[in-house]
């Protein structure tokens, strides 16, 4: 069975989109039967078509409808929809999703809350994000300091997540940098900038849209040797070099054992076995 991923960039998203890299390119790299659509493949050569957050543009919608028609005519193919963000929180996106989701056979997502939302409309499965450690070419050099450098990196619209950890920063007299972006950075540049710091702030408040978010930024940071503070108590601990060193050892170990993109591929293969009876 051959698998073809249609990336979100089909809808005009920036070519540096992190979700394309994590949920298409890295997966296809480690999944022998999978490819990322580049316009040269013959659709008739594939049996599973995965639309990775590609559903808004004319091209992706035309492909979805064409492939759904082929399936309904009896061809042994299946369509999967992979959603990595809570697009449904926006009225326009929700309307389009409600129109197109019935055309898919099943859906996947990286987090339980996203899977639970999708499961209201079609079979849905969790395929966690993973990191390709070979893609991490810049690594932070550990520093034995009690005054670590701290950074938050992300889209400006997500900076509200810092409210939960800002009080700890004030209480401890800490200062940090905030790197906000309006469009995706090249992955190498993103990692290189992150690796300049001892600690990455990555709070995930239990409210929309944050509760739907994946932990992929944490995985990338660990792979690059950067400690990650998700809340105030964790940040206080990580101010001590001893705890930072232990934290990083556990984080890097997790990336190798359970957070590598190979685990994402295995999850995909389990889903395919269930849905396509292979």
Integer Cα distance of 77 and 206 in angstroms: 38
Whether residue 123 sits in one domain with residue 214: no
Distance in angstroms between the alpha carbons of the first and the last residue of the chain: 9
Q: Print pLDDT tens along the chain (278 aa).
A: 999 999 999 988 777 789 999 999 999 999 999 999 999 999 999 999 999 999 999 999 999 999 999 999 999 999 999 999 999 999 999 999 999 999 999 999 999 999 999 999 999 999 999 999 999 999 999 999 999 999 999 988 888 889 889 999 999 999 999 999 888 889 999 999 999 999 999 998 989 999 999 999 999 999 999 999 999 999 999 999 999 999 999 999 999 999 999 999 999 999 999 998 75
| Residues near 219 by beta carbon (within 8 Å), at least 6 away in sequence | 129, 130, 131, 255, 259
Backbone φ, ψ for residue 125 (5° rounding): -135, 150
With tokens 């998700």, the residue in question is: 230
Q: What CATH number corresponds to the domain at position 192? A: 3.40.50.2000
Counted domains in the chain: 2
Whether residue 84 sits in one domain with residue 172: no
Q: What CATH number corresponds to the domain at position 71? A: 3.40.50
Whether residue 70 sits in one domain with residue 175: no
Instruction: Identify the domain containing residue 173 by its residue range.
Output: 133-257
Whether residue 70 sits in one domain with residue 38: yes
Whether residue 169 sits in one domain with residue 237: yes
Name the pTM for this structure.
Answer: 0.95
Whether residue 169 sits in one domain with residue 78: no
Backbone φ, ψ for residue 83 (5° rounding): -115, 125
Q: Please tell me whether residue 269 adopts helix, strand or coil conformation.
A: helix
Whether residue 141 sits in one domain with residue 221: yes
């Amino acid at each position: 069975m051959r698998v073809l991923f249609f990336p979100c960039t089909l809808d005009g998203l920036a070519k540096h989109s992190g979700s394309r890299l994590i949920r298409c390119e890295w997966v296809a790299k480690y999944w022998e039967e999978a490819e990322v659509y580049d316009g040269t493949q013959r659709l008739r050569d594939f049996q599973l078509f995965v639309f990775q957050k590609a559903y808004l543009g004319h091209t992706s919608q035309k492909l979805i409808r064409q492939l759904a028609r082929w399936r309904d005519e009896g061809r042994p193919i299946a369509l999967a929809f992979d959603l990595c963000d809570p697009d449904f929180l926006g009225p326009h996106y929700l309307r389009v999703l409600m129109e197109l989701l019935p055309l898919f056979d099943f859906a996947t997502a990286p987090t339980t809350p996203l899977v639970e939302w999708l499961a209201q409309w079609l079979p849905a499965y969790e395929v966690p994000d993973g990191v390709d450690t070979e893609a991490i070419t810049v690594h932070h050099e550990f520093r034995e300091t009690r005054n670590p450098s701290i950074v938050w990196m992300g889209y400006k619209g997500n900076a509200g997540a810092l409210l939960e950890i800002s009080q700890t920063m004030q209480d401890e007299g800490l200062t940090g940098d905030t790197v906000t972006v309006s469009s995706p950075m090249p992955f190498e540049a993103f990692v290189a900038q992150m690796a300049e710091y001892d600690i990455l702030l990555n709070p995930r408040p239990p409210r929309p849209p944050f509760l739907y978010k994946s932990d992929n930024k944490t995985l990338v940071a660990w792979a690059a040797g950067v400690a990650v503070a998700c809340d105030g108590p964790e940040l206080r601990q990580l101010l001590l070099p001893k705890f930072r060193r232990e934290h990083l050892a556990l984080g890097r170990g997790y990336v190798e054992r359970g957070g590598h993109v190979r685990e994402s591929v295995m999850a995909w293969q389990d889903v395919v076995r269930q849905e396509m009876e292979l």
